[in-house]
Structure 1
């Protein structure tokens, strides 16, 4: 099978304008992956499936990944006015100093697809698509029209991570109920303390539910 660098070159030749980046994997298995620009996601997927040499006709699994906002410290040089005594005379002069400032790099969500070829008996080829952020720009194109096996797995990612797969034939929650808010696999998800939806609360869940009821009762009593 072609190397990831060769597959990257083949994609960029077959799909003009497609942005493809090799994401190295330092693990011993060295399963490097390809980050695909979402704009050309479907066209790239169709190429990978239909190319005679690659023939990636089988999608084994799709997973979601959540990357939080990241604070990056940066050293910058700035000019400050400082007071100095020169020849017995105090005066204000400009002085170049170095400061450490923090820059926030927005987080994002990823969908990761593992592809194999049943016909050629090779794989996996791992492709990724990344959202613009994890707040109001969380759309990615659905690859279900290319590999039907993605249907339920993209629904699960939509449910648990909040990625909205445009073009999906039936995008709705699959594990949580329709009224449920938030996405439980987000890294900053906070569990509720009432567990009103748990019909048979027990152990730790029961303890937290009882504590919540006690807080509510105390609050009502104060009012």
Structure 2
């Protein structure tokens, strides 16, 4: 299945799409520049109909200056699953230099909350997201706690938060 899908997508979107060799589940690596168009095609194509975005997971490759997003798609009518991975290199890991990727919340409504969680905890910025703000932490929280280089704060508004 992955070979036919890969060939179809490469014909439509170019050679920038690659399959992960030896993966237990069909996995494609794609560029963030084609993510939205590719997602629409995978959702709307009668050959694939990936109508459900089950999850988005953010990955931190610290100490490297790169992140990745992993999208788990399901076609409920065809009972198939597909994983898409988008690599996000950054020049540095500073808080004002967040990796960016376009939002797919206009394609799958579940992306709204998944993208907010990835933003809140990992610091991935989703362009064109309708309401990108923290979802689990207070608005004034500093840093992104799931990054591997995150250092726990000792106090929050004068209250000790670091347990011994």
TM-score range, shorter chain: 0.7 to 0.9
Query: CA distance change for structure 1 residues 178 and 119 in 2, over 3 Å: closer, same or farther?
Result: same
Aligned counterpart for 1:35 among listed residues 15, 29, 38: 29
Q: Tell me the secondary structure at the aligned position of residue 159 of structure 1.
A: helix
Shift in Å at residue 123 of structure 1? Answer: 2.1
Query: CA distance change for structure 1 residues 137 and 180 in 2, over 3 Å: closer, same or farther?
Result: closer
Q: Tell me the secondary structure at the aligned position of residue 131 of structure 1.
A: strand
Write the distance in 2 (CA, Å) between the matches of 1:42 and 1:67.
24
Structure with greater Cα Rg: 1
Task: Show the counterpart of 1:51.
Answer: 45
Task: Show the counterpart of 1:65.
Answer: 59
Task: Show the counterpart of 2:66.
Answer: 108
Write the distance in 2 (CA, Å) between the matches of 1:21 and 1:111.
15
Question: Is residue 131 of structure 1 aligned with residue 88 of structure 2?
Answer: yes
Answer yes or no: is the 8 Å Cα contact 2:98–2:123 preserved in 1. Answer: no
The root-mean-square deviation of aligned C-alpha atoms, in Å, is 2.1
Aligned counterpart for 1:24 among listed residues 9, 21, 25: 21
- When the two structures are aligned, how many residues end up with a matched partner? 160
Q: Tell me the secondary structure at the aligned position of residue 140 of structure 1.
A: strand
Shift in Å at residue 37 of structure 1? Answer: 0.4
Question: Is residue 183 of structure 1 aligned with residue 144 of structure 2?
Answer: yes
Query: CA distance change for structure 1 residues 11 and 197 in 2, over 3 Å: closer, same or farther?
Result: farther
Higher share of residues assigned strand: 1
- TM-score, normalised on structure 2? 0.87
1:155-189 residue CA offsets vs partner (Å, 9 max, x unmatched): 00001011100111110010111111110000111
In structure 2, runs of 5+ residues without a counterpart are none
Q: Tell me the secondary structure at the aligned position of residue 41 of structure 1.
A: helix
Write the distance in 2 (CA, Å) between the matches of 1:191 and 1:132.
24
In structure 1, runs of 5+ residues without a counterpart are 70-105, 208-223
Write the distance in 1 (CA, Å) between the matches of 2:38 and 2:66.
21
Question: Is residue 9 of structure 1 aligned with residue 7 of structure 2?
Answer: yes
